Homo-oligomer: A and B are copies of this chain.
Amino acid sequence: MDAAILTIGDELLIGQVIDTNSAWLAMRLNELGITVKARFSVGDNMSEIRDALYYATELAPVVITTGGLGPTSDDRTREVLCDIFECEMQENEEVLRYIKDMFAKRGWPLTDVNRRQALVPDRAKVLFNKLGTAPGLYFEDGSTNIFVMPGVPFEMKEMFTNQVTPHLKKLAGNQVYVHETRVFSGIGESWLSDHIKPWEEKLPKNVSLAYLPAPGIIRLRLSHLAQNEQEGRELLCNLFTEAMPLVNEYFVSAVDEPIAATLLHEMIASGKTFCTAESCTGGYIAQQVTSIPGSSAAFKGSVVAYSNEIKEKLLNVSSATLQQYGAVSAQTVCEMALNARLILNTDYSMAVSGIAGPDGGTADKPVGLVWIAVASENGVESQELKLGGTREVIIARSAVSAMFMCLKEKRKEQK
């Protein structure tokens, strides 16, 4: 079964508010095995809401809307629906009683504006709003089903989960849409595509593959409309298992999470600790790791050595190394990693030093040249990166590369 999502509100069109409602709804609908054909947002303008609703009902038998249900004059969704379904607004006694109760409990006076919330198009079924005053609406017309919900995220989520979902399950029958994702690093999108071509070509027709790239990372996602969750998941996991020999060395995780989370969780699981010594990434790796709850169980800290003085003073990098090879060199990152591991007293350490730009590059050491190193009880290894992109992207890619190098080092030692 297909659906379309329509979010309504001027604030969505000026970019001040990111439309998280429609992403949340898309996820829930997918879990229900309902394919989202399109998502769109229009402002609080009657003719545009009307046009969008017509377009949506042509695309899919289920249309879900949020927003435009408030009591103020800029909320027009109900009026438009009365027009489309040629019906009248009527005061709904049950809704009115509910609103009166809600206000009485809080000791607030009931104004005319609040009372207007009990006006409901007479062709609609009411979806009660347990967390607010604007009721939701359900219109059924032949094969068209329109679910109209408020735009306030927590009110909408409650209503969708408890009142819209049962209707949708009935409409959708038994199928579920199952997704599995694998995370890769150290390889570009087109290279990965070349590597897995023979596998991709043999994928069953009812399984779809998507490439989801981010700086330093590519996520591969398989999707399948299955008779039940477990069967679907098994099929997709088996397919990924077949692909693994082709791409094993680039594999990060079978869990769809940031690489910092994969690294952290593997460290915690084996009781190991780690730290970072960061120059051009400026604390980005430490920040990524510590954004994850519970990170203190394995992550002890970082020295952000942005100047050579700090590299010498806090990380004991020798001034001879800095003078002879420069801050961006294999020698310097290796000393940074080895010494950070000792000073911060951890099992593993990562070090990064590079030129993130836009200034600071030379012919010899251009912007995008980055050295990374990982130290462990087995010593130290380093790697040179030549990265493109903005300063932001160079920092993000350097950080992902260092974390991936550390992850591989850790996995190597487990074998």
Q: Which residues of A contact B (CB under 8 A)?
A: 10-20, 22-28, 30, 35-44, 48, 51-52, 55, 59, 70-72, 74, 102, 105-108, 111, 113-114, 131, 133, 152, 154, 158, 179, 181, 188-191, 193-194, 208-213, 215, 221, 223, 256, 276, 278, 280-287, 289-291, 293-296, 299-307, 309-310, 313-314, 343-345, 357-360, 386, 388-393, 395
Contact = CB atoms under 8 A, between A and B. Distances in A.
A296 B302 contact: no
A40 B37 contact: no
Among A39, A191, A278, the one with the most B-chain Cβ atoms within 10 Å of its Cβ is A39
Q: List the number of copies, as a whole number.
A: 2
Given A74-B211, A190-B114, A343 B313 contact: yes
A208 B43 CA distance: 12
Contacts of A111: 190-191, 194
Nearest to A158: B390
A289 to B, nearest CB: 7
Given A38-B52, A48-B37, A300 B310 contact: yes
Nearest to A279: B301
A76 to B, nearest CB: 13
A42 B52 contact: no
Nearest to A7: B39
Contact of A283 (B114, B181, B287, B309): B287
Contact of A193 (B113, B302, B345): B113
Given A314-B303, A388-B131, A284 B283 contact: yes
A72 B194 CA distance: 10
Nearest to A9: B210
Main DSSP-derived SS at the A contact region:
mixed
Given A41-B39, A190-B72, A300-B309, A293 B391 contact: yes
Contacts of A285: 283
Contacts of A395: 290-291
A104 to B, nearest CB: 12
Among A42, A287, A296, the one with the most B-chain Cβ atoms within 10 Å of its Cβ is A287
A290 B399 CA distance: 13
Contacts of A208: 10, 74
Given A194-B111, A300-B306, A343-B314, A293 B131 contact: no
Given A26-B14, A154-B392, A210-B10, A284 B282 contact: no
B211 A72 contact: yes
Nearest to A177: B14
